[in-house]
Amino acid sequence: MNWSRKLANNLAVRIHSANPHHSVSLPVQSYAIETIIVSTIITSVALLIGLLLEQALEVLSIIIVFPLLRFITGGRHFSSPTACIATTVIGFNVVPILAQYVHSTTAILILTIGSLLLCIIYAPQGNRAIVKQHQIIKLAGGAIIAVNFIVMSPVLAIAFFLQAVTLIQFRKGG
């Protein structure tokens, strides 16, 4: 069992024992607490590094749009919360640095169109609703990405593209 799940389980057991008649089950409570722990660490550390690198506003925008798109479309997950935290914090702070080198409208359009195509082809991933809702999920994810056709932000273009790449499911053994 990983450290975040162990911590979440301990907290959930304490909360549950304080109110054993609560309607939320222990596994659901534990999962919610683990999500809050990991999300809080990612947000805090990414923003702190963003402040140190003088790119906190860009990091904050990524902290908003990346998880929003991911929540709707799904995507691959790391097996370890530590790998997730490290990769996400690094990614959220590398994106604004890379965006400084994206000066052309064409590059922003290519990244945004690429994200849109990946979303249309591969979304949703993971346990996302029933088959009838797949088109709605594709449409909602596409609408979020399409906002960048108006904003034309290199930061958003790169963030959307990275999230869209996590939608690609590679076959095992091939």
What is the 3 state secondary structure string of 68-85? HHHHHHCCCCCCCHHHHH
Cα distances from 149 to residues 55, 92, 117, 168, in angstroms, run: 23, 21, 14, 23
The per-residue pLDDT for range 62-108, each reduced to its tens digit, is 999 999 999 999 988 888 888 999 999 999 999 999 999 998 999 99
Predicted pLDDT at 3: 85
Angle, CA of 141, 147 and 150, to the nearest 5°: 160
Domains of the chain by residue range: 3-165
For helices 154-165 and 81-99, angle between their N-to-C axes, nearest 10 degrees = 150
Q: What is the pTM of this model?
A: 0.87
Predicted confidence band at 131 (pLDDT cuts at 50, 70, 90)? low
Q: Quick one: DSSP state of residue 131?
A: G
User: Percentage of residues in the chain with pLDDT exceeding 70?
Assistant: 94
Cα distances from 128 to residues 67, 81, 123, in angstroms, run: 15, 21, 9
